[in-house]
Amino acid sequence: MSTIASYIPTGDADKGIWFGNFSSKLPTYASLVGITAAEVTATQKDAAMYQYILNMLEAYKQTVNNITSYKNLLKRAIGQQHLGALPVAPTLTTAPAVVAEGVFDRVSKIVKRIKASTNYTQAMGQDLGIIAPVQTFDPNTLQPELKVNLDAGRPHIKCSKGYADAIDLYVDRKDSLGFVLIGRLLKLDYIDVISLPTNTLLAEWDYKAMYVIGNSNVGLMSSVVSVVVKKL
């Protein structure tokens, strides 16, 4: 089976790379496809601000990690490690001009106009990064990878959706019923709110799942993942 992805990448960092390429190459083709100089400048400002915010986020994320490590070592000694200098806020470069919200809304409209131009070519689209890749996959090999953690004492199950429309999620509560279907989940982020039986303080529950495309199961059953549930 084949599916057409968006030409704009999913991840924030990849979006930044895509936007940088598009905005830097847009001036080369702008006059050919009816994009004004003002629109080129605005697009470049949008790209610059988006990348700046990504850099700011990463800088503060690393600072938070550093502060957390400092805090942990401050609480308890760890081997031969010693506290270094007190963590400080990151130093950022000068911010670019502030832009309005919706940078990808605006750039998507510009891309639509570029593709509608009679002067648009496939080579131009490849260079600008605005041709969505066609991805081929074998539905028979799809297999969910479940992640289960406790959220306020309740099993919290997450799974990447990938190419599928949903998953069928099963649970074995060790009640002699074996695996039973919880349901068909369109949103692959599920909290199991079922309580432990009376007089049961601790139990290990198992979960597994299978992908769904259309109305049919496809691919392979996931590996079984377990979580220990306690009565609250």
The answer, yes or no, to whether residue 183 has pLDDT greater than 50, is yes
Q: Could you write out the three-class secondary structure of 27-64?
A: HHHHHHHCCCHHHHHHHHHHHHHHHHHHHHHHHHHHHH
Q: For 37-61, what is each residue's pLDDT tens digit? A: 999 999 999 999 999 999 999 999 9
> CA-CA distance, 196 to 205, in Å (whole number)?
10
Does 208 lie in the same domain as 169?
A: yes
Q: Report the chain's mean pLDDT, rounded to a whole number.
A: 92
Q: Per-residue confidence at 163, pLDDT binned at 50, 70, 90?
A: confident
8 Å CB contact between 112 and 27:
no
Q: Which is nearest to 180 in space by CA: 159, 155, 209?
A: 209
- The residue out of 110, 135, 160 marking a domain boundary is 135
Does 149 lie in the same domain as 121?
A: no
Q: So what's the pLDDT on residue 79? A: 80
Structural domain boundaries enclosing 144: 139-230
- The residue out of 109, 135, 161 marking a domain boundary is 135
Q: For 91-137, what is each residue's pLDDT tens digit? A: 999 999 999 999 999 999 999 999 999 999 999 999 999 998 876 77
Does 145 lie in the same domain as 126?
A: no
- 43-48: long-range contacts at Cβ-Cβ below 8 A with a sequence spacing of 24 or more? 43/106, 43/107, 43/110, 45/96, 45/97, 45/99, 46/19, 46/99, 46/103, 46/106, 46/107, 47/19, 47/20, 47/22, 47/23, 47/103, 48/23, 48/96, 48/97
The count of C-alpha atoms lying within 13 angstroms of the C-alpha of 220, restricted to the half-sphere facing its C-beta, is 10
CATH number at residue 219: 2.60.40.10
Q: Per-residue confidence at 207, pLDDT binned at 50, 70, 90?
A: very high
Does 60 lie in the same domain as 156?
A: no
How many separate domains does the chain show? 2
The answer, yes or no, to whether residue 2 has pLDDT greater than 60, is no
Q: Which is nearest to 114 in space by CA: 46, 48, 16, 25?
A: 25
Does 151 lie in the same domain as 110?
A: no
Does 120 lie in the same domain as 10?
A: yes
Mean pLDDT of 72-88: 86
Does 145 lie in the same domain as 46?
A: no
The answer, yes or no, to whether residue 4 has pLDDT greater than 70, is no
Mean pLDDT of 168-185: 95
Q: Per-residue confidence at 3, pLDDT binned at 50, 70, 90?
A: very low
Q: For 14-27, what is each residue's pLDDT tens digit? A: 999 999 999 999 99
Q: For 149-161, what is each residue's pLDDT tens digit? A: 998 889 999 998 8
Q: So what's the pLDDT on residue 5? A: 57
Does 125 lie in the same domain as 19?
A: yes
